[in-house]
Structure 1
Amino acid sequence: MDETEKLQQYKLFINPADLKELKRDIWIDDPLPAQLTLEGKRLEIDIAYRGSHIRDYAKKSYQITFYKPKIYKGSKLVHLNSEFKDPSMIRNKFSFDFFTEIGVLAPKAQHVFLTLNGRPEGVYLEIESVDEHFLKRRNLPNGSIFYAVDGDANFSLMSDLDKETKKSLSLGYEKKIGEANEEYKLQEFIFKINTIPRDDFEREIVKYVNVDRYLRWVAGVIFTSNYDGFVHNYALYRNGETGLFEVIPWDYDATWGRDVNGKIMEANYVPIRGFNTLTARILAVDTFRKQYKTLLEEIMQEKFTTEFIVPRVEKLMRHIRPSLEQDPYKKNHLSEFDQEINIIKDYIEERRAYLQRKLYKLD
């Protein structure tokens, strides 16, 4: 990536009457028609706000669905995230890049500059949708993808929301793609997680989940410190050929030393063993726990270091900084932006020290 290269320009046009309707109730998910000019091409799209609590922010995030043409550059929809609470604007993208580096399926993302009806809205993060096109771009087998939409996606028989037995084992999930029977495969998976006897677990669980990929995902959550990552911010992909589930990360702006409100998060906040039922059961198996410990040690030696991470973060931040000077929501906060590299560096050093102290818990 050329650091002097300008961000791609997203020129969005919404009829003033439709824009007024969009703003009237930020919680309505019904899309409205709009036009988007990209690389000189004018595209017909549908647009809606996206996210939950982030809809309250002054700088909105959007979901864009291509209408004419239905598919643009291999995608039928993309997400435009404002990254409003992240002073660095790069945590989400860098987390996805980091997951990819350690062998986990993760969305691609790039920073763009958005204008709305000719007025600058600023720097946004365009994030690839996790759907059938996500699989196609990676030459992966068709299968099912479920989004974890709330805390009930905890791999447990018990609800994380009301602490009672779930009425359905697919609670907490929303099917993105897949045949009708895939929901039963998901329910069977969660049931087996909770009911396979301890003595049989190591032998049986590998019939349902790619354990190596799962442990790499756990490691990614641990290194980035995504507090919600174990019960919420992910998607489940069931490989149609192997029949095995694996996890795809999602929504990683509250990471690398900042929480969901953009506040400093202590480096010891997320425990080394994580938390959810599947992680607990896998790490109760000696073989898997040793595999996980070895994986953490390898990543700490090669990837989770200031020498590896800081230059990459600095490069990303240099790339977007000139455009932030034109961002109406960020241009008055550039001194805070410039200090974020120190926040991230301190986090890495403190998190490494914490993990080194806690590795013995995996013996």
Structure 2
Amino acid sequence: MNSEKKQRINPLVILLLALISIAVETFSDDSISKIDPMDHLRGRRLSERARQLVSICNSMAEMGLSYEAARLLKSTSIYSSNKETSEEAKRILTSWRINELEINDVNADSIRKTIRKTLNRNRSALLDHKRVQTLLTAGRTSQAAKIIANAKQVELFGESKEAQLRILNELNLKQEVLNKAKDQNSLESLMSKSMEITKLNDISEFLRTAHPESGNAMRTLIRKVYPETAQMDSQRNRERDRYRSAFSRRLPENARPPAMRVQDDGERGRGREDGFSFFNNRSRQQNNNQTIEPLSIEKLIKIATELANFDYSMSISFLNLAKQSITDEVSRNKINKAIQSLTKNKKNKSLGQTKPFGAFLKPLQKKDKASQLFDSDEIFEYKITLSKKSIESLKKEPKIFVRATFEHKNIKLENVGVRLKGFLGSFRPFDGQNKNGFTVKFNAFKNGQRFKGLNKIQLNNAAQDSTFVREKLGYSLFREAGLPAPRVGHATVLINGAPFGLYVQVEASTEDFLKRWFDDASGDLYEGPTDITNWKNLDLDSDPKKAERGLLIGFAAAAFEAKEMNDLTPLKDWIDLGHFSRFMAMEILCDHWDGYLSPNNYRLYRNPSDRKFYFIPHGADQLFRNSSNSLFGSSRGRSVVVEAFRSTDEGELMIEEALHYLLSTIWAPEKIVAQVMHDYKRLKPYIIADVKRPYDLFEVEERLQDTIEYFAKTDRLKRWQLIALDNRELQDRLSRFNGRSRWGR
């Protein structure tokens, strides 16, 4: 009996032992690998490799290799001989909230989910902080307070914590102060204070170049009224120094970016005046810690009075800041009287020109069938269906139209022409992965076929504009200035059912477009790149049988003659001088650096009615970037008509008058920023959902912030540059903004 029982038990025991053996073997495989460096890794080299292991783990987790990254960090935390590296690995594991989980294959899914959830939460909180920065740049304190109220509740660790502190430092906010603010009112007060400090710092930095005495005095007052800014400035300087030190050692002086040079271009023989030089670590620290003699009330009022000759609003900001810095009533009354005096004696600083000179064109028909595509806030959805043959053709010959089906709501158009668009910066091959730009020509294979009255539309992929708003805004400013420019809207696109994301929908420069602006649309329409001097190779977008290319030779010859004679008379028969000067001024204000100023992106139409050429902006997806360019545009432009204007007294005067007009009427920073925020608000959900966008949302916020800042900075600098035309000393100071000694010429 016992032997039978024994025989029955033996198989169970054997099975149990086998299971234990398998389990032990499995857990053995799950064990954390021991770090065992090769013999050649010793000392500093070993420490560097260990740090590299740790630093790559965040990237691994973001790429979906979070479990593998966790195993690597665990191994480093246990076996690394470098204590600092080991502690850093432990800190990251803690920040991922998996320090209490056993890291093995059994927990792999749980570890992946926990890390992904943590990273998403951290990224969302950081994006909210960046969004707050954007909102404050636009003056939206209430919205910023609501967002920061939630974002500050998230406790961040590691790199996320460092990024958060950098953003708060840029906002002139201390985290401990932010954490103490519990209700909406206190948060709004903090946001308003942050915005005010940022504004004052910006004015101070500008004035330290343009008007050093007031700029340095203002910096002193800021630190007196807001003592915390001195420490924050030091932190920002340390960040800059850390960035510079990583690169400056490897680059010769003349190859370094301006911010990394000890002395600026054109200033090698002498340091910058007063506070304008780029300090090294020691001199900057000494500058921050030095005792600055207090400024008397009389001195402050004198500085403000002198500043008012250049900029009334800045002088008032200066005096209001001075008033905050003092406590005795007598001195405050003196400042109040000074403010009243400046206000009473304020000269009419209008830039004078309030009426445009030259032809001011308006659309001949305000509304047409296509208006709803461009004038409404609706985001349209287009479905494009391509056959296998068409797809293969686009891969081989991307600029040749192929047959496609185009659908929008209940509209379905067959035999529509589709091709890829774009050049060096925006062209993408059709491989299913990239976000391509498309030109859709509705009558390419079927005569008379149209969509909303149009025979062609452009669908731009916004590869060079992560905000999706620059092109729409830029062209609208041109149109307001009486300059023909395309209309712009937005749409989402599906190719064979696959989402390709959000697109900038641009009205094509076709005969339809010309009919909206000119009485006669039968003239020649040319397209850059290259200048009119290359008349044989300029693309022609109109009937080649009727083209009169030879006229371009005469046009170019007239420009050369005008430059030689220092007289624009030879050009009067070819262009409307006032219209072109306004076109050029708008390209300068919008920083259309690759427009006709280059020359690169532009359209040129010869109007048969008056037999003159009219320039039309094109490819305006890189506007609003450099607010510090020179008054008359980039010096690298070699377009002959631009050079004729820049090289003649009459031409420069006309550009100045055009800038006066635009700054006095069209260029209204607050109004423009309101439009930017309105457009971005409706586009943001589509940008987030765009599966093919080549940039992350952090970059989108940064570019949006840069765009918002651009308008006020450009307005300020251009007004000062116009004032400086009669002030050589001021010209030299302002030229340092663009690194050239004389207006970029």
* Pairwise TM-score range, normalised by the shorter structure: 0.7 to 0.9
Match of 1:358 among 721, 724, 743: 721
Deviation at 1:270, TM superposition (A): 5.6
Residue 170 in 1 paired to residue 538 in 2?
A: no
Q: Deviations over 1:263-286 (max 9, x none)?
A: xxx422465245332122224443
* Aligned equivalent of 2:627: 267
The answer to which structure, 1 or 2, has the higher relative contact order (CA under 8 A, 6+ apart) is 1
Measured at CA, do residues 358 and 4 of structure 1 come closer, stay the same or move farther in structure 2, by a change above 3 Å? closer
Partner residue, 2:384? 12
Identity of aligned residues (%): 20
Equivalent residue for 2:489, pick from 98, 107, 110: 110
3-state SS of paired residue (2:696): helix
Equivalent position of 2:442 in the other structure: 66
Residues in 2 aligned to 1:100 and 1:91: alpha-carbon distance in whole angstroms: 14
Shift of 1:251: 0.4
Aligned length in residues:
338
Moved more, 137-146 or 234-243: 137-146
Q: CA deviation at 1:359?
A: 2.2
Task: State the one-letter code of the partner of 1:42.
Answer: K
Mapped contact 1:293–1:362 kept (Cα < 8 A) = no
Any idea what SS the aligned residue of 2:520 has?
coil
| Residue aligning to 2:622 | 254
Query: What letter is aligned with 2:405?
Result: Q
**CA separation in 2, counterparts of 1:209 and 1:318?**
40
Query: Which one-letter code corresponds to 1:82 in the other structure?
Result: N
Hey, what's the Cα distance between the residues in 2 that align with 1:197 and 1:104? 25
| C-alpha distance in 2 between matches for 1:282 and 1:99 | 20
Partner SS for 1:11: strand
Structure 1 position 29 matched with structure 2 position 429: no
Task: Give the residue type in structure 2 aligned to 1:306.
Answer: P
The Cα of 1:189 is off from its aligned counterpart by: 0.8
Superposition CA RMSD, Å: 2.7
Which residue pairs with 1:233 in the alignment?
A: 601
Q: Which amino acid aligns with 1:48?
A: R
Do the aligned partners of 1:94 and 1:313 also contact (CA within 8 Å) in 2?
Answer: yes
**Aligned residue among 181, 186, 190 for 2:556:** 190
Report the counterpart of residue 655 of structure 2 in structure 1. Answer: 292
Deviation at 1:172, TM superposition (A): 4.8
How far off its partner does 1:306 sit? 2.0
CA distance in 1, matches of 2:375, 2:613: 38
Which amino acid is the alignment partner of residue 217 of structure 1? F
Q: 3-state SS of the aligned residue for 2:680?
A: helix
Q: Which deviates further from its counterpart, 201-210 or 334-343?
A: 334-343
Aligned counterparts of 1:171 and 1:3: Cα–Cα separation in 2: 37
Q: 1:121 aligns with which of 494, 500, 503?
A: 500
Secondary structure of the residue that 1:64 maps to in structure 2?
strand
Q: Which amino acid aligns with 2:524?
A: S
Question: Contact between 2:560 and 2:640, CA under 8 Å: does it hold in 1?
Answer: yes
Matched residue type, 2:472: K
Matched letter for residue 239 of structure 1: N
Once the two structures are TM-superposed, the CA of residue 92 in structure 1 deviates from its matched residue by 1.3
> What is the DSSP-based 3-state SS (H/G/I as helix, E as strand, rest coil) of the residue aligned with 1:56?
coil
| 1:84 aligned partner | 463
Q: For the Cα contact (< 8 Å) 2:567–2:650, is it kept in 1?
A: no
Alpha-carbon distance in structure 1 between the residues aligned to 2:519 and 2:464: 34
* Residue 62 (structure 1) shift: 0.7
Q: Relative to 1, partners in 2 of residues 1:40 and 1:226: Cα closer, same or farther, differing over 3 Å? A: same
The alpha-carbon deviation at position 106 of structure 1 amounts to: 0.4
Matched, 1:145 2:515: no
- In the alignment, is the contact (CA less than 8 A) between 1:272 and 1:355 conserved in 2? no
Unaligned runs of at least 5 residues, structure 1: 157-168, 258-265
Is 1:135 paired with 2:514? Answer: yes
Residue type matched to 2:417 in 1? Answer: D
Which structure dedicates a bigger proportion of its chain to helix? Answer: 2
Amino acid at match of 1:29: K
Choose between structure 1 and 2: higher strand proportion: 1
Per-residue deviation at 1:350? Answer: 2.7
Helix, strand or coil at the partner of 1:34: strand
CA distance in 2: counterparts of 1:3 and 1:147, whole angstroms: 26
Partner in structure 1 of residue 587 of structure 2: 221
Q: 1:314-343: CA deviations, max 9, x gaps?
A: 111112122223311249833433444321
CA deviation vs aligned residue, 1:184-210 (integer Å, no higher than 9, x gap): 112211122113575584333111101
Aligned partners of 1:171, 1:271: CA distance in 2, in Å?
A: 32
Separation of aligned partners in 2, 1:232 and 1:244: 21
State the Cα deviation string for residues 220-252 of structure 1 (Å, max 9, x = none): 110111211110110101111100111000001
Cα distance change of structure 1 residues 204 and 37 upon mapping to structure 2, 3 Å threshold: same
Which position in structure 2 is the counterpart of 1:261?
Answer: none
Q: Cα–Cα, structure 1 residues 140 and 290, in superposed 2: closer, same or farther, change >3 Å?
A: same
Q: Distance in 2 between matches of 1:270 and 1:14?
A: 47
**Distance (Å, rounded) in 2 between the aligned partners of 1:200 and 1:287:** 8
For residue 578 of structure 2, what is the amino acid of its counterpart? D
- Does the CA-based 8 Å contact 2:566-2:648 persist in structure 1? no
Structure 1 residue 102: Cα displacement: 1.3
Deviation larger for 268-277 or 175-184? 268-277
CA drift at 1:293: 1.1
Equivalent residues of 2:561, 2:570 under 8 A apart: no
- Aligned-residue offset at 1:213: 1.4
Cα distance in 2, alignment partners of residues 79 and 197 from structure 1: 37
Q: Is the 8 A contact 2:519 2:609 kept in 1?
A: no
Could you list the per-position Cα deviations for residues 106-138 of structure 1 after superposition, in whole angstroms to 9, with x for gaps in the alignment?
011111111111121111111111121111233
**Contact 1:273–1:280 at 8 Å: present in 2 too?**
no
Partner of 2:336: none
Q: Is the 8 A contact 1:131 1:176 kept in 2?
A: yes
Alpha-carbon distance in structure 2 between the residues aligned to 1:109 and 1:48: 20
Q: Which moved more, 1:317-326 or 1:83-92?
A: 317-326
When residues 241 and 212 of structure 1 are mapped into structure 2, their CA distance, relative to the original with a 3 A threshold, is same
Q: Decide whether the 8 Å contact of 2:435 with 2:461 is kept in 1.
A: yes
